[in-house]
Structure 1
Amino acid sequence: MAAGATRSPDLRPARPADAGQVADVWLRSFAAALPGVRRAHSDDEVRRWVAEVLLPTHDVWVADDGGTVVGLLALSDGRLDQLYLAPDRRGRGLGDRFVALAKQRQPGGLQLWTFQANEPAWRFYLRHGFVEVERTDGSRNEEREPDVRLVWDPRGCPP
């Protein structure tokens, strides 16, 4: 590698041993991106959920930078359930790589929810071909935060 060049993190499937680092990225990213949103679960509950639910039941990928997890993507049937980056890794193309991977792994289409307050995430997904299909008052999510559902349909048809 040339002097001054930086290496991109590798995207790889998550392993059970990644649970602690995945939870750390999730917690740090949520706090940085959504400081005004009340979290519904404690740090310990998030760590337990990552290890016992998220990793075993979802298609989870991590961005691995020399053994350090700096981002995560979690997919399930037709859904992009989680995409979180370490705060210092935002704006460097890593999210773009994760969305491309999500579309590759779910070629039939994707949907996701994001909080309305998370305008940067919302704009990010719109740039990647997702369209808004629904807004709610937040009464159906644990945080009780207004949210928006976005859909990517590879056929280009309105959902």
Structure 2
Amino acid sequence: MVLRRAHGSDALAAADVWLRSFAAALPTVVRPHSDDAVRAYFRDVVVPSHETWVAEEPDGAGIVGVMVLADDTLSQLYLDPRWRGRGLGDRFVALAKERGPRGLDLWTFQVNKPAHRFYERHGFVAVEHTDGSGNEEREPDVRYVWRP
């Protein structure tokens, strides 16, 4: 598996990973944007404006993971459902810590218990819980922080 910076041509494939992952991991969370709006956001905002990384299958068969860093925030980490539990998320978090050596923070939904276990296993600590009024989904969330 190759982790590399995303190019503009990766935006739609990265968005599709996001869509598949979100649907599989968060089936009860209502998405406020259509699939096409998510794809446009990745194409027009995420990939050109943020430090976006993708995981590409070694044979070039496709993008199976995406991670977005925005300063000291791990903004997005989504894997194709077929690639969960195979160490790819661990590699992305190691890369995020390398890129943010002073520390990182992130948000995840409270209903996403597998994400909580994953981030806690990587040394992140829950520091804030909200009622969801501050996010587009209106879904209760939790902020995690990692400090070296």
Please give the TM-score of this superposition, normalised by the length of structure 1. Answer: 0.91
Match for residue 145 of structure 1? 139
Give the Cα separation in 2 of the matches to 1:89 and 1:77: 26
Give the secondary-structure state (helix, strand or coil) at the position aligned to 1:60.
strand
Identity rate of aligned residues, in percent?
65
Match for residue 111 of structure 2? 117
Give the Cα separation in 2 of the matches to 1:83 and 1:122: 13
Q: Kindly indicate whether residue 46 of structure 2 is the aligned counterpart of residue 41 of structure 1.
A: no
Structure 2 alignment gaps of length 5 or more: none
Match for residue 3 of structure 2? 11
- Matched AA of 2:67: L
**Greater Cα radius of gyration, structure 1 or 2:** 1
Question: How many angstroms does 1:57 deviate by?
Answer: 1.1
- Matched AA of 2:47: L
Structure 1 alignment gaps of length 5 or more: 1-8, 155-159
Q: 2:45 aligns with which of 53, 56, 60?
A: 53
Match for residue 135 of structure 1? 129
Question: How many angstroms does 1:39 deviate by?
Answer: 0.3
Give the Cα separation in 1 of the matches to 2:12 and 2:20: 12
- Matched AA of 1:107: P
1:19-76, Cα deviation, whole Å (9 max, x unpaired): 1100110000000000000001100100000000100111111000022000011001
Match for residue 30 of structure 1? 22
* Large movers: runs of 4+ above 4 Å: none
Q: 2:76 aligns with which of 78, 82, 95?
A: 82
- Matched AA of 2:80: A
Q: 1:70 aligns with which of 59, 64, 67?
A: 64
Give the Cα separation in 1 of the matches to 2:70 and 2:11: 18
Give the Cα separation in 1 of the matches to 2:130 and 2:12: 32
- Equivalent pairs counted in the alignment come to 146
